[in-house]
Amino acid sequence: MKNPAARFAVQSLGASRIREVANVGIGRADVLPFWFGEPDEVTPAFIRDAAKQALDAGDTFYTHNLGLPQLREAISHYLSALHGPIATERIAVTSSGVSALMLVSQLIVNPGDRVVAVTPLWPNLIEIPKILGAEMVQVPLQFGHTWELDMQRLLDALTPGTRAVYLNSPNNPTGWVITRAQQEVILAHCRRHGIWIMADDVYERLVYDTAGGQACAPSFLDLATPEDRIISANSFSKSWLMTGWRLGWLAAPAGMMADLGKLIEYNTSCAPGFVQRAGIVAVEHGAEIIAHSVTRYQTARDFLYERLNALPRILSPKPKGAMYLFFRVDGERDTLALCKQLVREAGLGLAPGSAFGPEGEGYVRWCFASSLERLDEGARRLARFLEDR
C-alpha cells in the first residue's frame, strides 16, 4: 500500500520562506525580528475591554454565518464613508483576512481556472488559489526608480476566459499603490471579459505622502457598481492593531452572499462573538488609532529609508503604502541564504525577497511597524554585518 499523502495540489504548495527564516531564530532573545508583517504595539485597551465585557456577559456561543448584524452594519458605515454606499447585505465577517482570501477563492475559482496575480506578492495570495486547483499566472511589477505596473503586460495576461485577477494595493512587500487611472482601465477590461477582480485591501488605510491627505488608497470599491464582479478583502489586523484576533471581512455583490454564507458555515461557521464585539468598537471608534499608526509608520519609514540607503550595496525605494521597505542588496543572488545568515550571525530577522515570487530575488523585506530605537539597532546590525562580509 502507498504511504498516506495529501492531494497533489497541496503537496505542490510552496512552504513559506518567511517562516523558513523565522524558524532559524524564533524565540531567540538576541534576535530582533522584522520578518513578519505585524505592528509591534498591543491592541488598544478600549478594544480589549469590549472583548472582556462580552466574555463576562457570557458571549461564548455561535453567531450568524455572515457576522453579527451590528458588526456588518458598522463595517457598512465605515466603508461607505470611505468609498461611497456599500450596503450591509454586501458585507460578510470572516475569521481573519487570510480566511477571507480563502473564502473568495472557494467562491469563484474552479479547478484549472486561470488566475492572474500582480507580483511580488505576499505568498498566501499565490498559494491559496492553487489549493483550489487554479493555474496561477504572475505579472511582475517593473523596478525602475520605484515599482511600476506595466499595464499593457497585465491586460495581455487578462485574456478572455481568465477567471480572476488578484491585486493587492498597497502592496505587501513592495509598497506599490495602484492609481485610480490604472483601476479604471483594469475594471473596463475585466467588465468586457467577465473577469473577477479580487482586491486585497488590507493596507488601504496605510498610505503616505498623499497629496490631498487622503485617508485611504484608491480602491475598486470607489468605482464599482454593486453588481460588478469585484470582491474586496479586508482585515482588522493592520488598521486596528489586531493581528492575533483573527478578524476580517469581505465586501461582495449581494447576490453572492447566500453562497458565501454556506462557505463560511463549512469553514469556520462564524467568527467568535466576543471578537466581533471588539471589532464593532474598533470600526466605530478606531479613527484615532489609524491616524496614530499612519504618523508613526511614516516617521519609521523615512528613518529606515535614510539609514538603509546610506549603506553600501543597498538601494531602497520609498514605499507609498503598507509597512515594508523592500530593498535591493547588490550582488546577492540568494536572499534566503542571506536572511538565514543574518539571523544566525547578526541577530537580525528579515524576510527574503524570493518568498514573494522569483522577481523578488535580490531583495529583502523589512517591516518598519516598529519603534525608532529597534529600527536603529536593526540598521546598526545590518551595517556591521555588511562591513564584515
Burial 296-318 (b: 16+ CB within 10 A, else e): bbeebbeebbebbeebeebebbe
Smallest distance from ligand PLP to CB 334, Å = 24
Smallest distance from ligand PLP to CB 344, Å = 25
Q: If you ran DSSP here, which 8-state letter would residue 209 be given?
A: S
Contact 172, 322 (CB under 8 A): yes
By beta-carbon distance, which residue lies closest to ligand PLP?
97
Task: Return the C-alpha cell found at 210.
Answer: 498623499
372: enclosing H helix or E strand: helix 372-388
Looking at beta carbons only, is 104 or 304 nearer to ligand PLP? Answer: 104
Contacting residues for 290 by C-beta, under 8 A, at least 6 apart:
205, 215, 239, 240
Looking at beta carbons only, is 86 or 233 nearer to ligand PLP? Answer: 233
Burial 125-146 (b: 16+ CB within 10 A, else e): bbbbbbbbebebebbbbebeee
Smallest distance from ligand PLP to CB 43, Å = 13
Looking at beta carbons only, is 183 or 347 nearer to ligand PLP? Answer: 183
- Give the interface with ligand PLP as residue ranges (CB under 6 A): 37, 96-98, 122, 168, 172, 200, 202, 235, 237, 243, 248
Q: What is the spatial distance between Cα 156 and Cα 39, in angstroms, rounded to a whole number?
A: 37
Looking at beta carbons only, is 202 or 221 nearer to ligand PLP? Answer: 202
Looking at beta carbons only, is 200 or 359 nearer to ligand PLP? Answer: 200
Contact 43, 240 (CB under 8 A): yes
Smallest distance from ligand PLP to CB 202, Å = 4
List of E strands, 187-338: 196-200, 230-235, 248-251, 314-315, 324-329
Smallest distance from ligand PLP to CB 8, Å = 26
The values of phi and psi at residue 212, to 5°, are -95, 15
Smallest distance from ligand PLP to CB 236, Å = 7
Smallest distance from ligand PLP to CB 124, Å = 7
Looking at beta carbons only, is 36 or 305 nearer to ligand PLP? Answer: 36
Looking at beta carbons only, is 283 or 346 nearer to ligand PLP? Answer: 283
